[in-house]
Amino acid sequence: MKKCFDADKYLKIQQKKIKQRIKMFDKLYLEFGGKLIDDQHAARTLPGFLPDLKIRLLQEFKDDAEVILCINANAIEKSKIRADHMISYETEVLRLIEFLRSKGILVSSVVITLFDGQKKAKDFAEKLKDYKVKTYFHTFTKGYPTDVDTIVSDEGYGANPYIETARPLVVVSAPGPCSGKLATSLSQLYHESKRGVNAGYAKFETFPVWSLPLKHPVNIAYEAATADLNDKNMIDYFHLEKYGIPVVNYNRDLETFPVLKEILTRITGKTIYYSPTDMGVNVIGECITDDKAVQKAAKDEIVRRYYRALTDLKKGIVTPDVPERIKLLMNELGISEKDRIVAEKAAEKRIKAGGLPSASICIGKKYIVGRKTGCLSPVSSTMLNAFKTINKIPDEIDLISSVVLEPILEIKNKTSNFKESYLKLGEVLIALSICSTTNPLVKKVLESLDKLRGTQLHSTHMISDDEMVVLSNLGIDATCGTEIDIN
């Protein structure tokens, strides 16, 4: 995919924008929306935006910044899962702590929000002691969202414990949405005000891009990504009324802004923001270098989201209205699932294979296909074919002999309650690792895995969660159909 976003320019002007906002206050609480690390949606939608770009940005402030991580007690209680890595929200918090610390960024505390005595939340707080990070419990804010007098009082925000912070920039982030970042930030502002500190609030939200048109594919891709939350992009009518400039925001920010503005005014004693867009500091729209290419990438992302919504519906994760919303967005842009050519190629392979589950991967402009075999899942089979293509290995050469595959499959089924007639991608990669010690060709294959990053793959049948995680870790954008392979 052609790069159409200037990451270096972004780091430079984004850093400047945040510094300007910090100068307005003694301490700035900056709410980080979206994923702090592994922002694959931004990387796919804006080719050239790196998944770790936000971390690189934070490293520019590491001597002046600290991070507060928020996690909803109900998410802990329900063992909520982050879908891209198939790990729980609490595991993601631990991962964030370790990763940020490895980059020299201070994580000062974790806040467990909406706490109401949940046992798993208490257990998680105990676990955090091993990470030597302070843990705070915040409860539901009394009076929220309508009774501002109560909200901005010792009964409201004042009822929460003050989170000790010492640096001029406090980044408030979370493992996922609805984690209480805004409430935590405002609670802190209330306590800072009581202490005589001129503290401020700002929002660092990647999408929607306020400076792009309302119906720009990048902004519509955001709607597709949050279809389960029913987010809708809208013209920021507060901004339009105040400044006469049409900019883009989304429904939840617009709906809550009047109350938020009043709360901020009560706490700080002055009005700083006249629109939700005023609160933002993101400059992402200024760094797009090829709008036509970005629009194409965003449309591709919307189609991928549609396929994933269909599989989530099959799993019972979402309701039927989620893929329906995305389908409406696709209709609006004049695109369809048939625009995902790799899916069409997989379907063609399935027909040629007599109905066997099949898959296809696109590398450059070449489509490589594979089907389920006696030992391999359709994804494993396709990936082995891709490895051969990348490394110019003749098709007749077996990278893994059936003499190796069959005993692995036999042991797998002896030690598992669920019998499978094939090996998944992760298992095949392990087999390749073993073979690489004696086979130079296999060693060459493993050294070429980075060449798969950014490629597209589709399977005619549902891909298992563990296989999907392996594909994601390889940087492959994978989708699948909703049929289930019955062994």
Q: What is the pLDDT of residue 200?
A: 97
- Residue 423 CA to residue 75 CA, distance in Å, equals 33
Q: What is the pLDDT of residue 421?
A: 67
**Candidate CATH numbers 3.40.50.10860, 3.40.140.40, 3.60.90.10, 3.30.70.920; the one for domain 340-483:** 3.40.140.40
Backbone angle region of 436, left / alpha / beta, with phi > 0 → left and psi within -120 to 50 → alpha: alpha
Q: What is the pLDDT of residue 420?
A: 63
Tens place of pLDDT per residue across the chain (487 aa): 678 999 999 999 999 999 999 999 999 999 998 888 888 999 999 999 998 899 999 999 999 999 999 999 999 999 888 876 778 999 999 999 999 999 999 999 999 999 999 999 999 999 999 999 999 999 999 999 889 999 999 999 999 999 999 999 999 999 988 899 999 999 999 999 999 999 999 999 999 999 999 999 999 999 999 999 899 999 999 999 999 999 999 999 999 999 999 999 999 999 999 999 999 999 999 999 999 999 999 999 999 999 999 999 999 999 999 999 999 999 999 999 999 999 999 999 999 999 999 999 999 899 999 999 888 999 999 999 999 999 999 988 888 877 777 777 777 777 666 666 688 999 999 999 988 988 999 999 999 999 999 999 999 999 999 999 999 999 999 999 999 876 6
- Global confidence as pTM: 0.92
- Answer yes or no: are the C-beta atoms of 258 and 241 closer than 8 Å: no
Residue whose pair of structure tokens reads 């989170």 in the numeric block: 163
Q: What is the pLDDT of residue 487?
A: 61
Q: What is the pLDDT of residue 418?
A: 60
Q: What is the DSSP string of 265-296?
A: HHHHSS---SSHHHHB---GGGGBS-HHHHHH
Q: What is the pLDDT of residue 485?
A: 79
Q: How far is CA 76 from the centre of its chain?
A: 18
- Please report, for residues 151, 163, 184, 196, the alpha-carbon distance to residue 269 in angstroms, rounded to integers and kept in the order given: 15, 22, 19, 12
Q: How far is CA 348 from the centre of its chain?
A: 32
Q: What is the pLDDT of residue 186?
A: 97
Residue whose pair of structure tokens reads 């893994």 in the numeric block: 400
Residue whose pair of structure tokens reads 């339009």 in the numeric block: 240
Residue-range domain boundaries for the chain = 7-287, 340-483
Burial of 314 (0-12, 13-18, 19+ CB in 10 A): middle
CB proximity list for 430: less than 8 A, separation 6 or greater: none
Q: How far is CA 86 from the centre of its chain?
A: 12
Q: Tell me the helices (H) and strands (E) count for the chain, helix number first.
A: 20, 14
- Residue 313 CA to residue 113 CA, distance in Å, equals 29
CATH class of 7-287: alpha beta
